[in-house]
Amino acid sequence: MTNLFDLTGRTALITGGSRGLGREMALAFADAGASVVIASRKIEACEEVAGLIRSQGGVAHALAVHAGKWDEVERLFERAYAVAGRIDILVNNAGMSPAVPSHNVSEELFDKVVALNFKGPFRLAALVGERMARDGGGAIINISSGASWKAMPRVIPYAGAKAALNAMTISMAQEYGPNVRVNAIAAGPFLTDISKAWSEEQRESAPNAVDRPGRPEEIVTTALYLASPASSFVSGTIIRCDGALR
């Protein structure tokens, strides 16, 4: 049977691609045949993942970006097309979710959270989506969160930004269709770097139907599905990958 997740000949740009869920997606896309552009703030971390992909016979590029800054996102767009030639898959994965009581959130922190989780992804998706539409099509995947729909105190700016990302996903699917598909993954708790600050109980159990956090590699099949022809009739959708959060 033909591999529905085959990404041979495609190029993927992944922000926040040097660690956590982004790293897992970068490695999985490369394993499926895609060339990968890995972007995050720390170029050394990007180079490490790109080097791993190259050592396994794949094609990878590393680019530095602060994904919450409009001008840096524009430069990333230009540089990604310069080194890769085209972008067929965009994964807006970079984000931050500081847990702070709402009355202690400063304007500076509020702006940083919204910029990284919504403003930057909006600008990059708009630039890439318009170019994809002209180039014949592509897939955009926005990494959202269960906080976008489930009441979670202490992360309200983050939750609001991710809810905006969901709305953007649905609207951009209409704006850049029919040949550009735009979807989102609403991720639940995953055992990424952020989990190092969790209690032992939080690392072992979670308020979901499977009673545990996800392993980072468990994001992979959902991302591959949305990036590949396997989801050719799926657009404007937010898919929950959270173990059925309660």
Report how far Cα 99 is from the mean position of its chain's Cα atoms. 20
In a domain, 173, yes or no: yes
pLDDT value of residue 215: 94
Chain segment 5-53, per-residue pLDDT in tens: 999 999 999 999 999 999 999 999 999 999 999 999 999 999 999 999 9
In a domain, 1, yes or no: no
In a domain, 121, yes or no: yes
233 phi, psi to nearest 5 deg: -110, 20
Q: How many CB atoms lie within 10 A of CB 112?
A: 15
pLDDT value of residue 60: 98
Q: Please report, for the domain that includes residue 72, its CATH number.
A: 3.40.50.720
Q: Burial, 6: exposed, middle or buried (Cβ in 10 Å; 0-12, 13-18, 19+)?
A: middle
Is residue 158 part of the annotated active site? The answer reads yes
Range of the domain at 235: 11-241
Rounded CA Rg of the chain: 17
Q: State the Cα–Cα distance between residues 39 and 75, nearest whole angstrom.
A: 12
In a domain, 2, yes or no: no
pLDDT value of residue 21: 97
195 phi, psi to nearest 5 deg: -70, -10
Number of domains, the chain = 1
Chain segment 167-197, per-residue pLDDT in tens: 999 999 999 999 999 999 999 999 987 777 7
In a domain, 80, yes or no: yes
In a domain, 15, yes or no: yes
pLDDT value of residue 1: 41
Q: What is the pTM of this model?
A: 0.96
Q: Does the pLDDT value for residue 127 go beyond 70?
A: yes
**Residues 41, 68: contact at Cβ < 8 Å?**
no
Chain segment 83-122, per-residue pLDDT in tens: 999 999 999 999 999 999 999 999 999 999 999 999 999 9
In a domain, 110, yes or no: yes
Q: Does the pLDDT value for residue 242 go beyond 70?
A: yes
In a domain, 5, yes or no: no
Q: What average pLDDT does range 132-153 have in this prediction?
A: 97
